[in-house]
Structure 1
Amino acid sequence: MAQFMLHIRRRKIYKARRPAGASTYKAMYRFEEDNVEYLADVFLGENNERRGGALTPKQKIQIFLRYVGDPGFQVGVGEDSGTHQSSISRTVKFVSEKIYEKVNQWIQFPAEQAETDAARHQWQEAFNFPFVIGALDCTQIKIKKPLEHGDDAGSSLLQ
């Protein structure tokens, strides 16, 4: 009887994942659905998971976007998506690492002073925003000013 019982495994029961409705999709992920699919293709590629109940690349990007777009508790993101908190934690870390692998393709700073001056001039002309060479749409990133001469960093650019 004991040998017979070794071959019986408990059946896994997965939570039903809740897709976002068309009217709430952009509010939840801050992107249109086709853009989310594009991000999944670019950063995560094809789905190589063969486990039952595994998250698709699109679902991973959705979880990541939901978490970084409204940083709160992973449990809340899990409740929104029908995913356990531990999966949210692993997914956010995984997607962050995948994005970081390609950071040099997406975030570029001017390499020469002439490029810096041109970018600064464009921002000044377009938005009346002096001493700016670019912007990040990530308000959760804290940028520290230099320890020395942090208040007059832009004054040398005027000369």
Structure 2
Amino acid sequence: MNMMKQLWSLARIALPGVGFASACVGAYLVSLETEYTWRIVLAYIMIVVGLLLILIGVFWTICNSMKSKMYQRGGGEQHIHVYTVERPSSFPPSYEDSQGSRFSSDAAPEIVVVVDGVDVVMSPAPPLYSRDSSEAPDCTWSWEQPPRYSQVERIQQGRVDAEERREALSKH
């Protein structure tokens, strides 16, 4: 069986070459410019057959490679080995481990916060980094709205006025 596969493979490789040689010989016979004889008819037949052999050989090779790639890709028994690295104890726990210790894995708590009239669903953030992960992270979060621009302008204007008064008093 292996010998038969090798012969078919050789035929696939040789077919475009034979077709090219046939087309070249036919073109050479046409270029001899002899009178209209059977040689001219044979030359045109050789050109057409040569071009067909080139096309058949190329498409046969393409289809065979596509078929073999589909068989390689579709192998259900293909085992992929994933290389992993063990984490030393000096590293902090992974995100999944730290989340599993803080919350139950089946239902993560979600917090609904209203921001500018829109309900925003918040899920817990990843834990803060600590060397030995024994420190409890500070999970307080402030949703205090920032002041309006006009209030910030008034505060800054008040500071500028206060600085001008101090400068004026220090000059006297």
Q: TM-score, normalised by structure 2?
A: 0.22
Query: By percentage of residues, which structure has more helix?
Result: 2
Which structure has the larger Rg over C-alpha atoms?
Answer: 2
Q: TM-score, normalised by structure 1?
A: 0.23
